[in-house]
Amino acid sequence: MSSDTLSLVNRLAPEILSMIFICSLPEVGVPSLHESPLILLQVCQYWRNVAYTTPELWTTLNFHLRPATLSPRALLSLWLDRSGILPIDFRMEIEGSGEVLTTIFTNFHRFRALDISVGYIFIKYLRGIRRGPVNASALESLTIADSTWEADYDSLKGRITTPKLHHLTLRGPGLALPILSLDFHKLRSLTVDEGIVLSTYTNLINDLRQCDCLEELQLSLCSPILHPADEIPGGPLSFPQLRKFCVVVDTERDPRPFLAALRLPKLEDLEIRRYKAHFFSGLLYADYMEPLILPVTPRLRSLTLGYFTDGDVYEGVIGSPPINQYRLPDLLRKLPTLESLTIHEGRLSNRFIDSLIPSPNSLEQDVILPVLSKLTLRHAQFAWDPIIRFVAARSPREKEANRWRTLRTLMAVECHPNIPMENHHKDMLNAICQESGQAFRWVYNISPIN
């Protein structure tokens, strides 16, 4: 920046310059001498003073990508000092970073979001604190990952109090959960990652029964210690406020008893993914979906399927016959309110796409997904010709009023390079856009090759 330009900028009032500085913050708060806020301290004394007196610049700190030339303890102290009374979002893999723990525990009440790895050093430090429970009174979001299986977590039960915690993510074995004094009734969002054990399946169910205010739940049923095929202790599992549910199922286990025990009366967004895409069993996607979808068909608006294949739709799996005769098109027919369908990491057959295309004489009650407005194919494998036929049949027309012509968005993103869009496909989609009076739009890009 030239001296003349800098002179003009320095005529701005501190309040305006402060607002400009806040807009310059990177999306990921990884500290760097070449990005805001640290680079602002190097321009001139005026900028340094404005930056130091703008607390909003110092409320997010991410050390997952730790710069080797910067001291984590010094930077954390700087952020805590300059953020004033504002709460801080702090993410760091602190295992092996004992020098930071004193600062963290002294200022636990300042953290609004915390992403930590819990292991020997963390547990040793926590055990050495003699002044009672650690107060995490401002903590609203916590991601906690175990880095050891051998720590004595039970002896530290309830040592960290989290009265305002609304969002909880558990990674690793999940054995560190007892150190939290946690009110499950206040949780709004819960993620239970792959590999979680939570000691026993019964403990997991008991914890989930307390989460009666959950609005979002991501649950993995892939842990070797969890047995979804077992009877659910205590009967049905109800989440009366849950609107978004993502479940990761393992094709080596039967998740249907667990899924059938769920009661999700307000579910609007459902995502089902399989953990091992390369291994197939007799369980088909319709088998997973049936106990979840049928009770909530009046409300479901969005459905995402991951690791979805042709065999799930029609042919079944060779050598392992389907457990029941449900097929995905038949089940989709029972979802009259579905507005968004996403296939992630999937393979679509021409027959499946054609099954979603209404015939010219179709009555409204015969159309599959009559209000579908968005189709998203991400990392998917498919042929373009049936997709074009589907779009042509379902997208709106200026002079036609068929009620099922509701498709307004086609997203084909991160597609495999082996299925490029030809020029004539682009021309056809552009023509459909014009015929719809620009009511329809499409997006296409190819996944980068590693």
CA distance 174 to 172: 6
**Three-class secondary structure of residue 73 per DSSP:** helix
Q: For residue 51, what are the CA distances in angstroms to 9, 11, 47, 72?
A: 14, 16, 6, 20
CA distance 344 to 382: 12
Contact 441, 433 (CB under 8 A): yes
- Residue 252: the pLDDT is 65
Q: What are phi and psi of 206, to 5 degrees?
A: -60, -40
DSSP string, 194-238: TT---SSHHHHHHHHHT-TT-SEEEEE---TT--TTSPPTTS-EE
- Residue 268: the pLDDT is 92
- Residue 441: the pLDDT is 93
Its sign, for the CA torsion 5, 6, 12, 16, is positive
**pLDDT below 70 — which residues of the chain?**
1-8, 28-31, 63-70, 92-99, 118-121, 128-132, 147-155, 173-176, 194-202, 222-231, 251-253, 275-288, 291-297, 307-327, 361-365, 398-402, 448-450
- DSSP code of residue 44: -
Closest residue by Cα to residue 203 from 171, 175, 224, 179: 175
Q: For residue 265, what are the CA distances in angstroms to 127, 169, 298, 305, 348?
A: 43, 24, 9, 20, 30
- Residue 278: the pLDDT is 43
- Residue 87: the pLDDT is 86
CA distance 239 to 215: 8
Closest residue by Cα to residue 43 from 80, 3, 77: 3
- Residues in contact with 96: Cβ distance below 8 Å, sequence separation at least 6, in sequence order: 119, 121
Both structure tokens of 101:
């723990």
Tell me the residue length of the chain: 450
Cα 119 from chain centroid (whole Å): 25
Both structure tokens of 249:
């199922």
In the chain, the largest separation of any two C-alpha atoms, in whole Å, equals: 77
Task: Report which residue type is found at 195.
Answer: G
CA distance 43 to 278: 54
CA distance 345 to 324: 24
Closest residue by Cα to residue 168 from 204, 218, 126: 218
Both structure tokens of 181:
């004094």
What is the four-CA torsion angle of 351, 352, 354, 359, rounded to 10 degrees?
Answer: 120
Helix (H) / strand (E) containing 270:
strand 269-274
CA distance 367 to 175: 49
Closest residue by Cα to residue 88 from 160, 139, 48: 139
Contact 306, 272 (CB under 8 A): yes
| Digit-coded pLDDT (tens) for 255-286 | 777 788 888 889 999 988 876 544 444 455 66
